[in-house]
Every structure is written in structure tokens, then in C-alpha cells.
Amino acid sequence: MSTINCRIDGLDELLVRGWAFDKANPRVPAVLHMIVDGQEVGVITCDRARPDVHAAGIAPEHVGFEFRLPAALLDDEMHEIEVRDDWRRNVVMFVNHEPATSLTAKISLNPEIRSFVDGLRQGAFEGWVLRKAHSTAPFQGDAMIRVTCDGATIGHVRANRHRGDVARMLSASPNCGFHFVPPASVRRGFPRDYRFYLMPDDVELSNSPQHTSVVADAGEAQLLDLMDSVDSLHRELTRIRRQIRDILPRPGHTLATYDTWYPRYADALRRRIAATPDAPDAPLVSIVCPSTAPTSPSSRPRSTACAPRPTPTGS
């Protein structure tokens, strides 16, 4: 029998966790050979930190191990797991404080599901669902969804529509969305409970049930007529608004009203020039506005000097 002391802390899907050390040479990390159904599937060096084991005074600190079994063992069948040392001697494993030379276990699938029912949009339920078979598998779409209304199945839909938002969020397949139109038999205009289940295990999706009402065909037609009426009113209001603007007089800036608008323009121009960054190398441009028969000092010919902004390249 081997001199290695081995403890199995757990078997989670394919991951075997525990710690081991060689009682004959505890300073050197122990080496374990993992045997499943008589076939070697991997070699483990027990050198992970386990401060809990060291604090208990059982062994040195670096005696831990984690080993992932082959994915082919996820078949819901019973498998015999053994551990041997470099000399191919059986290592006694302690599982739940009980010694054993082998461990028989059924390695079952533990699928992970991500999903969400977005809700009712324009008479159809929308959402998405992703599933991976086990912890190391990628998320996949194209799942089958069963839909019920008040407990009765009303249809199935495949979640294979493109959802780029979900793909970016989860780094997964984008073909995971679904779009389900309830049949006419459940469109009664009053709230009902709609539930969504992932097949074949009947796992209810996130944000299900949806307690809402679906408009019947007659009600939908009436709503469409109302929408057309609203569109027509909007077009008519736009036409009337344009007519009003055409009728209203528009003030113009001419020489006849020079005394009225020039003081305001000059103040705005000075503020704009003051806010312009200094450009010492740019030429100054003078704009002269003559006035005929000025009636006030403010309406005399004006000359304003300003520094133009540099013209962007390519303009």
C-alpha cells in the first residue's frame, strides 16, 4: 500500500478537489495518477496552497490539488475512480472521513442557463436564452422554448434569432433570441399569465411569468386605425404651422432700419471678437457700412476691424 495520505474534498461535475502528501517524504509534493474505469486519465502534482491543512498541523501547506476529469465522462453513468502513486500502488482516499481505495460516482451534467423574457412588444413576446452543457462548455443558443397561458401549453418557439446585444454582453452565440406571437385563441383583451420554459427540462426562464393582455385582431385593427388618424392630424398640424409662419411678418435688416439694428449687432460683434483667440499672424479685415443722411451719431459710417479665423485645411 502507498505511503501517500490523500483526502478528497469534493467532486463537482468534472472537478476533483483535495489534498495529499507522502508521509515518507512530506517536503516533496506528492504525485498522483488518476485512474478512471481502469484507464489513466491524468497525473497530478499536489503543490497547491492549503493553509487550512497546515494550520491544523496535519501536513505542509503546499499539498492541495485540483484535477478536471475528461468531458467524455459526463454521461450520467457510474464510473470508478482510483488514485495511484508513481509505483502504481493504490492510494487510500479519505472521502467524508471514510477510507476507500476507489470511489464510485455518477458524473452528471450540470447545465448553466442564462435567459430573460423582455416582454410583449407589438403583439409578440420577445426574449433570449443561452445554455451550456457543463462548466467548461461555451454558451449556445438555438434552444426550444415551451410557452403556456394560464397553465395550458399554447405553442413552442426556437430561440435562434440574432441578438447582438446579448452576444456582446456574455461573449456568446448571437443566435439566441425568440419572437413568439400568441395564437388568436388566447387574445381576449384581459390579463393572463404567460410562462416560458426551456425544453426538455422545463426550466422556467428569467422574468417569467408575464402577466399581461394581448389585443385581439379586432382591437388591433382599431388601434391601427387610430394610429392612422393620429398621423393624419400630425401632417395637418404641420401644414397649418407652415401657413402661419408664411403669414406672419418677418423683420428684415435693411438700411432703412439701420439705426435700430446696428447698435445690437455692434455689441454682439465686439463680444464675439473678444472671445476669439489671439491670432497675431492673421491679417485684419475692415468692413465699412455707409449710411445715407445719418440722423444720429450711432448711424455714421462704421469701420470694424476683426481677425478672421484660420481656414481649415481642405476647405
Do 176 and 125 lie in one domain? The reply is yes
Do 15 and 100 lie in one domain? The reply is yes
With beta carbons less than 8 A apart as the criterion, state whether 124 and 152 touch: no
pLDDT digits (tens, 9 = 90+) for 107-132: 777 788 999 999 998 889 999 999 98
With beta carbons less than 8 A apart as the criterion, state whether 294 and 271 touch: no
227, part of any domain: no
Predicted confidence band of residue 315 (pLDDT cuts 50, 70, 90)? very low
pLDDT at 77 over 50: yes
Do 131 and 87 lie in one domain? The reply is no
Do 99 and 192 lie in one domain? The reply is no
**pLDDT reported for residue 311:** 47
CA–CA dist 193, 206 (Å, integer) = 14
191, part of any domain: yes
Predicted confidence band of residue 187 (pLDDT cuts 50, 70, 90)? confident
Predicted confidence band of residue 190 (pLDDT cuts 50, 70, 90)? confident
**pLDDT reported for residue 314:** 46
Do 86 and 142 lie in one domain? The reply is no
pLDDT at 135 over 90: no
Do 163 and 86 lie in one domain? The reply is no
Last residue of a domain, one of 58, 90, 106: 106
Cell reading at 314? 481642405
Q: Residue 205's beta-bridge partner residues? A: none
Can you give the CATH number for the domain in which 92 is found?
2.60.40
CB proximity list for 297: less than 8 A, separation 6 or greater: none
pLDDT digits (tens, 9 = 90+) for 4-47: 999 999 888 788 999 999 999 999 999 999 999 999 999 999 99
Domain that holds residue 263: 255-276+283-306
The pTM (predicted TM-score) of the whole model is 0.49
The residue with greater pLDDT, 166 or 272, is 166
Do 261 and 171 lie in one domain? The reply is no
